[in-house]
Homo-oligomer: A and B are copies of this chain.
């Protein structure tokens, strides 16, 4: 009707509108929503001086108990080179304790503290709220659908990774 496909003169919204081709691409949609989600969670966690990796480590410790840094690395997907500073931050704040493993003196044993458990509960609450905000346009049923689809996609692409890079840091 009114939206022109001609290229000669400039229709009013060819200035700002995103091409349909791009809007339909799943990859682009994904990175868009993911970027928005990242922004949301980063901002939300920054308000309590935390980062998303903090949550991953604390949750892992709570669920599986103490472990070495390499173990935590494998459980959370954080590279073991980056794990160092994450644990430094968590230890500074008193959420974990780093002690030498007497049975294997290469290892550090990381343990969650009472404060760490409290912090984990707080972060859980925050992330719940942020997830609510992110998924606010969807009905409860749709949210479940969405999470279900994402889970299947992620599982499929991480079990036997097509390319080796992403599975085991």
Residue positions of A touching B, CB distance < 8 A: 5-8, 10-11, 14-41, 43, 52, 56, 59-60, 62-67, 71, 74-77, 124, 127, 130-131, 133-138, 142-143, 145-147, 149-158, 162-163, 165-166, 168
Contact = CB atoms under 8 A, between A and B. Distances in A.
How would you classify the secondary structure of chain A's contact residues: helix, strand, loop or mixed?
helix
6 contacts: A15-B71, A19-B56, A22-B60, A22-B76, A39-B166, A134-B157
Of A37, A56, A127, A152, most buried by chain B (CB within 10 Å of CB) is A37
Nearest to A156: B137
B26 A134 contact: yes
Nearest to A145: B145
